[in-house]
Amino acid sequence: MRSRSLLPALLAAAVLVPVAAAATTPPANPPRHHTKQDTAAARRLLLVRADLGESWNAGRTKLGALTCPTFDPPLKGIVETGAAGAANFTLGTGGPFVTQSAWIYRTAAQATSLWRTVVGKGLQQCLSDSVGSGSTQSVTFTVTGRRRLALPKLGARAAGYRVAAKAETTLQTVTVVYDLVVLGRGRAVTELSFASFSTPVSRTLELRLARRAVAKLAQTSSPKA
């Protein structure tokens, strides 16, 4: 099986599919009242190429989202005051792929409320749905499995999810694995999304980047309540 022949068609989908696209999120849930200060704070949460290594290529893709059409819970009393993303990193033409988005909320209590409402089975469902919605005329994505990822203590709120899928063309089938790691501290929430062919992204890489993201959360998020 010549997997490389499928890669060009998969690449664009692989880096965009793992996170529900911003365009699929109800624009007023939660309300957005972005400030320059908190937008800058959200940008400081994003990983940079130096965090991954010189072998990685850096780019940008769409801002992710924490809700989707099939999971749109009420977020009353929560206001998003900053957002940034999405950082997009690729290690060679065949991946793995890493994307990130970050959000700041008006108070730490609001960020905690959002976490309790959004992070869980609903967010896992959004990841699964977004993988399926990545199908195009040339590539069909079919979810084959999903589960939660066990994470060690990282010094912040943390949750992880994995979705496996088949990516099929008329000529071949390739397994694609998507991992989503969500982190929160203070007024901030950030998500790291990983995609790879055949086997999952290495746990060593995921945890290294998660810990780097937590360090940025500690440096950036305000204790404002």
Helix (H) or strand (E) holding 96: none
In a domain, 173, yes or no: yes
Say if residues 159 and 119 touch (Cβ distance below 8 Å): yes
In a domain, 138, yes or no: yes
Number of domains comprising the chain: 1
In a domain, 96, yes or no: yes
Q: Which two tokens stand for residue 43?
A: 């940008």
Nearest to 222 by CA among 187, 191, 190: 187
Helix (H) or strand (E) holding 183: strand 173-185
CATH code of the domain in which 156 resides: 3.40.1000
Q: Which two tokens stand for residue 201?
A: 């992204």
In a domain, 116, yes or no: yes
Q: How many CB atoms lie within 10 A of CB 219?
A: 10
Instruction: Tell me the pLDDT tens digit for each residue of 143-159.
Output: 999 999 999 999 999 99
Say if residues 166 and 174 touch (Cβ distance below 8 Å): yes
In a domain, 75, yes or no: yes
Predicted confidence band of residue 131 (pLDDT cuts 50, 70, 90): confident
Average pLDDT over residues 92-102: 85
Helix (H) or strand (E) holding 11: helix 7-16
Higher pLDDT, 98 or 26: 98
In a domain, 30, yes or no: yes
Per-residue pLDDT, 4: 53
In a domain, 225, yes or no: no
Bond before 96 cis per omega within 30 degrees: yes
In a domain, 109, yes or no: yes
Per-residue pLDDT, 170: 79
Say if residues 179 and 83 touch (Cβ distance below 8 Å): no
Q: How many CB atoms lie within 10 A of CB 149?
A: 15
Give the domain range for residue 177: 3-220
Report the phi/psi class of residue 213: left, alpha or beta, with left for phi > 0 and alpha for psi in -120 to 50.
Answer: alpha
